[in-house]
Amino acid sequence: MEVVMLEKEMSLEDREEVKMTSTFLRGFASAGGYVQILSALGYATRKHAGQFRKNGKPFILHPLKATTYAISCGMKDDVLLAAILLHDVPEDTFTPVTELPCNDEVKHAVELMTFRRCDGETKLQAKRRYYAGLLNSKYALLCKAYDRVNNIWTLCDLSREAIIKNVYETEFFLMPLLHKAKSIWPEFADQISGLREIFRGTIYMYSKTCGFEVPCEEPSDDEWSEILGS
């Protein structure tokens, strides 16, 4: 999801939602002694101040909602939840990962979550390298999954082309990784299975409402280039 800077204030409704969600997370972290979450919450809120999504919603709502959803799924890991809160900070605020106010495990997960293209790479090559790298950290992969859940639930605000792009990335890049992750990190197998079911249902819904078919086999490189763009 792209972030934009808008010369406007949050609506009263959005401001209240940000306040309530932040208050919940602060209380959850304080009660559980989650120091990484407490540091990440304030930092992410400051860094994303003034940023909005294309649908006009405050950007900070995205990491806040992704984090609260992870908690509702039974995730109570300080590192994971802090990484979800911070995952867009480097990419969307140009903040070096080394400056994040958290421990090395959180920084490593956020680093893996930050998409970059190397010189000479096509977007497809960069995407493949990026997704493969997520298997280097259970926190990064789970962070990506909860990030994608929140993103995919708000795709209706985007163009048909953007919906197809997100659906294809989920189906052919993220879903296979989650399948592998179940055996690599069996302690999270139940949560991963639940995430895969959510993605299956949402992909089916978008394919029907937007009138496209998701192929059984991964697209060719040329087809990917058309889907992903330059």
For 163-201, the pLDDT digits (tens) are 999 999 999 999 999 999 999 999 999 999 999 999 999
- The reported pLDDT for the residue numbered 62 is 97
What is the second-level CATH architecture of the domain 1-114?
Answer: Orthogonal Bundle (1.10)
Measured distance CA(174)–CA(191) in Å, rounded: 15
Measured distance CA(224)–CA(69) in Å, rounded: 31
CA 122 vs CA 116, 195, 220: distances in Å: 11, 29, 14
Q: Where are the domains of the chain?
A: 1-114, 117-230
- The yes-or-no verdict on residue 203 having pLDDT over 60 is yes
The rounded mean pLDDT for the chain is 94
Characterize 54-74 residue by residue with b for buried, 16 or more Cβ atoms within 10 angstroms of its Cβ, and e for exposed.
Answer: eeebbbbbbbbbbbbbbbebe
Q: Which residue has the tokens 């934009």?
A: 4
3 state SS for 73-91: CCCCCHHHHHHHHHCCHHH
Look up residue 69 and give its two tokens: 């959803």
8 pLDDT band (50/70/90 cuts)?
low
Nearest to 229, CA basis, from 75, 88, 112, 117 = 117
Task: Determine the average pLDDT of the residues in 80-105.
Answer: 98
- The reported pLDDT for the residue numbered 3 is 60
- The yes-or-no verdict on residue 1 having pLDDT over 70 is no
- The yes-or-no verdict on residue 136 having pLDDT over 90 is yes
- The yes-or-no verdict on residue 16 having pLDDT over 80 is yes
For 31-73, the pLDDT digits (tens) are 999 999 999 999 999 999 999 988 889 999 999 999 999 999 9
DSSP H helix total and E strand total for the chain: 12, 2
- The reported pLDDT for the residue numbered 158 is 87
pTM: 0.94
